[in-house]
Structure 1
Amino acid sequence: MWPSFPSNILGLALLPLVLASPVQKRARGPWMALDTDFPDPSFVGDPNGGWYAFGTNGNGKTIQVASSPDFQKWTLLNKEALPTLGGWETNVNHWAPDVIRRNDGKYVMYYSGEAKSDPGHHCVGAAISQGTDPSGPYIPQPNPFACDLDNGGAIDPSGFLDKDGTRYVVYKVDGNSIGNGGDCNNSVAPIKPTPIMLQKVEEDGVTPVGSPVQILDRDDSDGPLVEAPNLILHQGIYFLFYSTHCYTDPKYDVRYATATSVAGPYTKTNTELFKTGQFGMTSPGGGTVSGAGDRLLLHSFCQPNVRCTYAANISIQGKTVTVL
Structure 2
Amino acid sequence: MQPFSIASPSTWALLALPFLSSVLGSPLLQQRAKGPWKGLDTNFPDPSFMKAADGKWYAFGTNGNGKRVQVARSDDFNTWTLLDVEALPTLASWETNIDHWAPDVVMLDNGKYVMYYSGEAKSDLRHHCVGTAVSDKPAGPYVPNETPLSCRLDRGGSIDPAGFKDKDGSRYVVFKVDGNSKGHGGDCNNGVEPLVGTPILLQKVGADGFTPVGDAVEILDRNTADNDGPLVEAPNLILHGDTYFLFYSTHCFTDPKYDVRYATASSITGPYTKNNNPMISAANTGLLSPGGGTVCGCGDRMLLHAFCTEERTDRCMYVADVNISGKTASLA
TM-score bin, normalised by smaller chain: over 0.9
Cα 1:35–1:149 shift into 2, 3 Å = same
Query: Is it true that 1:56 corresponds to 2:62 in the alignment?
Result: yes
Residues 208-233 of structure 1 deviation map (CA, whole Å, 9 limit, x = unaligned): 00110000000011000000000000
Structure 2 equivalent of residue 254 of structure 1: 260
Aligned residues: 304
Structure 2 equivalent of residue 230 of structure 1: 236
Question: Can you give the 5+ residue segments of structure 1 that lack an aligned partner in the other structure?
Answer: 1-18
**Residue type at the aligned position of 2:321:** N
Structure 1 equivalent of residue 21 of structure 2: none
Tell me how far apart the structure 2 counterparts of residues 148 and 184 of structure 1 sit (CA, whole Å).
19
Cα 1:50–1:278 shift into 2, 3 Å = same
1:203 to 207, 211, 225: 207
Identity over aligned residues, as a percent? 65
Structure 2 SS opposite 1:67: strand
Cα 1:39–1:24 shift into 2, 3 Å = closer
Tell me how far apart the structure 2 counterparts of residues 280 and 110 of structure 1 sit (CA, whole Å).
31
Contact 1:102–1:108 under 8 Å retained in 2: yes
Structure 2 equivalent of residue 194 of structure 1: 198
**Residue type at the aligned position of 1:197:** L
Structure 2 equivalent of residue 14 of structure 1: none
Tell me how far apart the structure 1 counterparts of residues 148 and 111 of structure 2 sit (CA, whole Å).
23
**Residue type at the aligned position of 1:155:** I
Tell me how far apart the structure 2 counterparts of residues 207 and 23 of structure 1 sit (CA, whole Å).
43
Structure 2 equivalent of residue 7 of structure 1: none
Structure 2 SS opposite 1:283: strand
Cα 1:21–1:198 shift into 2, 3 Å = same
**Residue type at the aligned position of 2:72:** A
**Per-residue deviation, 1:276:** 1.1
Structure 2 equivalent of residue 181 of structure 1: 185
1:318 to 313, 322, 326: 326
Structure 2 equivalent of residue 110 of structure 1: 116
**Per-residue deviation, 1:20:** 6.0
Structure 2 equivalent of residue 40 of structure 1: 46
| Structure 1: 4+ residue segments shifted above 4 A | none
Contact 1:230–1:288 under 8 Å retained in 2: yes
Contact 1:20–1:27 under 8 Å retained in 2: no
Tell me how far apart the structure 2 counterparts of residues 199 and 41 of structure 1 sit (CA, whole Å).
21
Cα 1:53–1:164 shift into 2, 3 Å = same
Residues 180-217 of structure 1 deviation map (CA, whole Å, 9 limit, x = unaligned): 00000001111100000000000000100011000000
Q: Within 5 Å, give how 1:17-166 maps onto structure 2.
A: 21-22=26-27, 24=29, 26-129=32-135, 131=136, 133-166=137-170
**Residue type at the aligned position of 1:22:** P
Structure 2 SS opposite 1:184: helix
1:305 to 313, 319, 324: 313
Tell me how far apart the structure 2 counterparts of residues 262 and 215 of structure 1 sit (CA, whole Å).
9
**Per-residue deviation, 1:21:** 3.2
Structure 1 SS opposite 2:276: coil
Structure 1 SS opposite 2:219: strand
**Per-residue deviation, 1:315:** 1.1
Tell me how far apart the structure 1 counterparts of residues 52 and 229 of structure 2 sit (CA, whole Å).
37
Residues 88-140 of structure 1 deviation map (CA, whole Å, 9 limit, x = unaligned): 000000000000000110000000000000001000000001x2x20000000
Cα 1:201–1:35 shift into 2, 3 Å = same
Structure 2 SS opposite 1:176: helix
Structure 2 equivalent of residue 6 of structure 1: none
Tell me how far apart the structure 1 counterparts of residues 128 and 54 of structure 2 sit (CA, whole Å).
35
Question: Can you give the 5+ residue segments of structure 2 that lack an aligned partner in the other structure?
Answer: 1-23
Tell me how far apart the structure 2 counterparts of residues 111 and 48 of structure 1 sit (CA, whole Å).
23
Structure 2 SS opposite 1:177: helix
Structure 1 SS opposite 2:282: coil
Structure 1 SS opposite 2:303: strand
Structure 2 equivalent of residue 219 of structure 1: 223
Query: Is it true that 1:276 corresponds to 2:282 in the alignment?
Result: yes
**Per-residue deviation, 1:55:** 0.1
